[in-house]
Structure 1
Amino acid sequence: MTYLETAAQFYSEVAQTPEIGLCCVQTTPLQLPGLNIPQQMQDMNYGCGSTVHPTELVNEPTVLYVGVGGGLEALQFAYFTRRRGGVIAVEPVAEMREAASKNLQIAAEINPWFDMSFVEIREGDAFNLPVIDNSVDVVAQNCLFNIFEPVDLQRALQEAYRVLKPGGRLQMSDPIATFPIPQHLRENEQLRAMCLSGAITYEEYIQQIIDVGFGQVEIRAKRPYRLLDIHTYNLEKSLLLESLDSVAFKVPIPEDGACIFTGKTAIYAGKESFFDDGAGHILSKGLPAAVCDKTAAKLASIMPEEIIVTDSTWHYDGGGCC
């Protein structure tokens, strides 16, 4: 049995019998006025963070959600689209499609604003998304891509890139590893299906996104997710997994490399009232300006005594010089 078959079997089982405590079901879901979430849907919240960022969801976007789970984030996206077919949820596991449909039916009964037609559940998978090229505004996935082997992760990212409109967003939440996961854990298909052994490091994760053509990546959050301890997992030292929420934009990659925003700022502390690097970055004296990591490194090297670059906050939601 391949790791994908193991994952399909595992999620078929947890679709029929929700497993409390799998991933981060203890996390309180996004609270929105008038949004009521069925308990069964909350119990099936098999994700590690959130891909639903309200500031990204203006103008009733078409959202393609990969891996419907219990339907929680599909419902949250529908809260913003509120139109027939505004959310397309793609799911390969029949039992999970059935469970999500039942949960959404309950949601329709307790949410006067929600209509079942707002979410269309389609059979399909991350490698063969059942939509045409350049047709959706947002592709989202939560705690799915991390189970893939690197070659399959590339396929999934390429598919997301294919279906996004120019300027569209890939919104993801996945576990990442603080150091490479040992081979004996990576080969454990059950742990991989449970999102505990397939994670790659932050650097590898971001590079995979860039390699398929996304020119800008913004980190929305990075937080502790799970600890793999030395006793349970036969490790020389405990391994911390972190949850990374990111938004990647389908825009061209600049000649000097992709723009990665991790919450860094640059502050001019020189004698003049402002600093202009001649490349589109103007820093007002004493005022922090959000910059991408690439620009931060360049500015720090230009005038290290007069330009202060702050550390990554691992949170960015727009604005600044880039």
Structure 2
Amino acid sequence: MKGKEKIKESIRKNYSKVAIKGSSGGCCSGGCSCNGEPIDIYNTTVNIGYTEEDLATAPVDSNMGLGCGNPIAIANLKEGETVLDLGCGGGFDCFLASTRVGDTGHVIGVDMTPEMIQLARKNAEEGGYTNVEFRLGEIEHLPVADESVDVIISNCVINLSLDKESVFKEAYRVLKPGGRLSISDVVATAELPNEIKQDLNMITGCIAGAEYVENIRKMMDKAGFKDIKLTPKDNGKEIIKSWVPNRNIEDYVIPYIIEATK
């Protein structure tokens, strides 16, 4: 347990630094690659699936290039729905969701990093968003009521959890009957070498914590989800290669779109 708490604290500290830097970015997959090379957040965000309109719509400081896909593109959000974002960061996906659910809808962002919540709240206030709120909490223990959410989104966060089974159980708990899960995450397609699994930078950088794809399916099925779909992103290898050049990490992990219903 001490080892897990140490890892969790390292993850929290890493994303605290990212939040403080804001849209200037941080490591990994936001602001610089895992080997320390700078990356362009605008091009990175477009490459993982967002449009120029998305970038123009959300507050600039909410987008730090932290993602591996675009869950909003697959969520099919409707006016009046309640949306929950697991690991909301600076609120980028929350703000995009808020425009789709409208004034009668509601968006909740949850993040375990106080600095991220502070940044997201600041972005919401400055942008005049009235249908969005941000709550400090862990995705394994969601500060959200039972059966109160229509749609759950998440972008490259569940891989960071040290208890993914609890994440899916919690997601199932808070979803309304008929609710849906629409997330983007990095999953393992082959056994990761030990030197990668034990590399703390690779853990905080959304690589080493990736769970094997069929294990994800089993966890979701055990939690109660139906209509489970796990689909690799077409440019997934390109995305991973941009994070970690020259190490062939893309042979072991790749971004997937993960969908299911309650």
Scaled by the length of structure 1, the TM-score of the pair is: 0.66
User: What is the Cα deviation at residue 246 of structure 1?
Assistant: 1.9
SS in 2 for 1:127: coil
For residues 212 and 171 of structure 1, the distance between their equivalents in structure 2, rounded to whole angstroms, comes to: 16
State the match for 1:189 in structure 2: 200
SS in 1 for 2:61: helix
Q: Any idea what the Cα deviations from partners look like across 1:270-321, whole Å, max 9, x if unmatched?
A: xxxxxxxxxxxxxxxxxxxxxxxxxxxxxxxxxxxxxxxxxxxxxxxxxxxx
State the match for 2:16 in structure 1: 12
User: What is the Cα deviation at residue 54 of structure 1?
Assistant: 6.1
For residues 122 and 2 of structure 1, the distance between their equivalents in structure 2, rounded to whole angstroms, comes to: 23
Q: Any idea what the Cα deviations from partners look like across 1:83-108, whole Å, max 9, x if unmatched?
A: 277001111211111112223344x2
Kept after mapping to 1: 8 A contact 2:28/2:204: no
Of 9, 14, 23, 2:29 maps to: 23
Pairing of 1:230-309 with structure 2 (within 5 A): 239-250=251-262
When residues 88 and 33 of structure 1 are mapped into structure 2, their CA distance, relative to the original with a 3 A threshold, is closer
Of 169, 173, 177, 2:180 maps to: 169
State the match for 1:132 in structure 2: 145
SS in 2 for 1:209: helix
For residues 139 and 69 of structure 1, the distance between their equivalents in structure 2, rounded to whole angstroms, comes to: 15
Kept after mapping to 2: 8 A contact 1:45/1:70: no
When residues 104 and 239 of structure 1 are mapped into structure 2, their CA distance, relative to the original with a 3 A threshold, is same
Give ranges in structure 2 of 5+ residues lacking alignment. Answer: 31-40
Pairing of 1:90-169 with structure 2 (within 5 A): 90-106=110-126, 108=127, 115-149=128-162, 152-169=163-180
Kept after mapping to 2: 8 A contact 1:139/1:171: yes
Query: Is 2:101 aligned against 1:89?
Result: no
For residues 7 and 26 of structure 2, the distance between their equivalents in structure 1, rounded to whole angstroms, comes to: 23
When residues 103 and 216 of structure 1 are mapped into structure 2, their CA distance, relative to the original with a 3 A threshold, is same
Of 210, 225, 233, 1:222 maps to: 233
Kept after mapping to 1: 8 A contact 2:98/2:105: no
State the match for 1:40 in structure 2: 61
- How much identity, in percent, do the aligned residues show? 29
For residues 136 and 33 of structure 1, the distance between their equivalents in structure 2, rounded to whole angstroms, comes to: 23
Q: Which protein has the bigger helix share? A: 2
How many residues get paired?
238
For residues 4 and 68 of structure 1, the distance between their equivalents in structure 2, rounded to whole angstroms, comes to: 17
Pairing of 1:52-71 with structure 2 (within 5 A): 52-53=72-73, 56-71=76-91
Q: Any idea what the Cα deviations from partners look like across 1:109-136, whole Å, max 9, x if unmatched?
A: xxxxxx4221111111101111211111
For residues 55 and 178 of structure 2, the distance between their equivalents in structure 1, rounded to whole angstroms, comes to: 30
For residues 65 and 140 of structure 2, the distance between their equivalents in structure 1, rounded to whole angstroms, comes to: 23
User: What is the Cα deviation at residue 20 of structure 1?
Assistant: 5.6
Task: Tell which structure's C-alpha radius of gyration is larger.
Answer: 1
Query: Is 2:190 aligned against 1:179?
Result: yes
Q: Which amino acid aligns with 2:153?
A: A
| Higher deviation after alignment, 5-14 or 82-91 | 82-91
State the match for 1:3 in structure 2: 7
For residues 133 and 166 of structure 2, the distance between their equivalents in structure 1, rounded to whole angstroms, comes to: 23
For residues 230 and 21 of structure 1, the distance between their equivalents in structure 2, rounded to whole angstroms, comes to: 11
User: What is the Cα deviation at residue 168 of structure 1?
Assistant: 0.5
For residues 55 and 70 of structure 2, the distance between their equivalents in structure 1, rounded to whole angstroms, comes to: 19
Q: Any idea what the Cα deviations from partners look like across 1:132-184, whole Å, max 9, x if unmatched?
A: 111110111111111223xx000111000000001111111111223111223
User: What is the Cα deviation at residue 35 of structure 1?
Assistant: 5.5
Scaled by the length of structure 2, the TM-score of the pair is: 0.80
SS in 2 for 1:116: coil
Bigger relative contact order, structure 1 or 2 (CA pairs below 8 A, ≥6 apart): 2
Give ranges in structure 1 of 5+ residues lacking alignment. Answer: 109-114, 251-322
What's the Cα RMSD here?
Answer: 2.8
For residues 177 and 165 of structure 1, the distance between their equivalents in structure 2, rounded to whole angstroms, comes to: 29
When residues 159 and 209 of structure 1 are mapped into structure 2, their CA distance, relative to the original with a 3 A threshold, is same
User: What is the Cα deviation at residue 190 of structure 1?
Assistant: 2.5
For residues 26 and 136 of structure 2, the distance between their equivalents in structure 1, rounded to whole angstroms, comes to: 26
